[in-house]
Structure 1
């Protein structure tokens, strides 16, 4: 991958990364991985607002994590854009294993050693779950496959906190530990350009102006 200062000389594949709308677990700041939780009423309103924002963009395709909260969010965009939704398992959320549905404090109370290891080492996984280092490999492969399918086009990817953070971390050539230093709001938009000759460029991060 090129790290030079020269501007890439190809048209990028633009990834519009939309986090799903609010859920009951996000309200209480609980681990929400593979559990199929629905959107709240506020989450549906957020998804509709994001769809209105995206209606003015030249989006060529919509790709979504297969979980209910992302599919429901993607359906609003699909209606606004007149496009089908393509499910992609590569953009599913981290598997939080035994911590699913817990708050951070509850997980720490239950297993403080495992939590301390997890927050300090991206190779450590929650009990029965998935390490951030593994998520990074999975999401990177999904990104590469997506860019191959839609090279030079604009793709809306409706996904979760960790996959979006991972794509930003990779765009910035940051260590995996950078995931612990980012915050993403529900229904926020992040934009990453992927150039055919190697570099990725972050254009926007955690944009919630459509929710104001």
Structure 2
């Protein structure tokens, strides 16, 4: 059976990215650079011939996805389960502003307790939300096809880890994704079982076949 792939693609740049403001589920548009990043990355990803493109419904992700949809003719589908982690009261604030306004909550956050910021979602909650959506989307992905999922830095990182069942204590070992960079999950199949594994992380080039003894 032919290998299936999932491309996990982060949206292009926004003004809040440049300013260092936490975006979370705030609906911030791409800036001029972000739109150019989306067009450039889409030109490369289009060569994969995606069977399906599914995106967070926040405009910075949806507009990034549409750049690929326009090139390939593949309809872009919106799925709110792919939204960024909800950072609650921190949204719109820089790191310094968050510490000034919520010193106790930020101290707890950096110590591993993510419940101290009003209205915030935990990385575990966001990761499991994303992973559940990805499992649902894969139910309809035919053999040999490519699914492109367009979303956000934190939820892509935590969602990939949750999907791969990596213990949460190791999630922080994975670095963040650059604007319009992507990661790739690939399915390995042997007779009566299949397993997904990470083959690219924070990439800007197309996945290539691995020539290695480590298979």
Shorter-chain TM-score: which interval?
Answer: 0.7 to 0.9
User: After the TM superposition, which residues 63-212 of structure 1 pair with which residues of structure 2 at under 5 Å, given as runs?
Assistant: 63-121=54-112, 124=115, 126-152=117-143, 153-170=145-162, 173-181=165-173, 182-194=175-187, 197-209=193-205
TM-score w.r.t. length of structure 1: 0.86
For 1:126 and 1:199, the matched residues in 2 are separated by 37
Query: Structure 2: 5+ residue runs without aligned partners?
Result: 207-215
**Structure 1 position 125, deviation (Å):** 5.9
2:8 to 14, 17, 33: 17
Query: Structure 1: 5+ residue runs without aligned partners?
Result: 1-9
SS in 1 for 2:105: helix
TM-score w.r.t. length of structure 2: 0.85
For 2:19 and 2:157, the matched residues in 1 are separated by 20
Residues 15 and 176 (structure 1 numbering): CA distance in 2 closer, same or farther, change over 3 Å?
Answer: same
Larger RCO (alpha carbons 8 Å, 6+ apart): 1
Deviation larger for 169-178 or 150-159: 169-178
SS in 1 for 2:139: helix
CA offset digits 1:132-184 (Å, max 9, x no partner): 11112211211110111214321011100122102332355433244434221
Say whether the 8 Å CA contact 2:131–2:160 is kept in structure 1.
no
Match of 1:33 in 2: 24
Residues 185 and 103 (structure 1 numbering): CA distance in 2 closer, same or farther, change over 3 Å?
Answer: same
Residues 101 and 55 (structure 1 numbering): CA distance in 2 closer, same or farther, change over 3 Å?
Answer: same
Q: CA RMSD in A?
A: 2.1
Q: How many residues align?
A: 201
Deviation larger for 75-84 or 171-180: 171-180
Deviation larger for 190-199 or 18-27: 190-199
Residues 177 and 23 (structure 1 numbering): CA distance in 2 closer, same or farther, change over 3 Å?
Answer: farther
Runs of 4+ in 1 over 6 A off after TM superposition: none
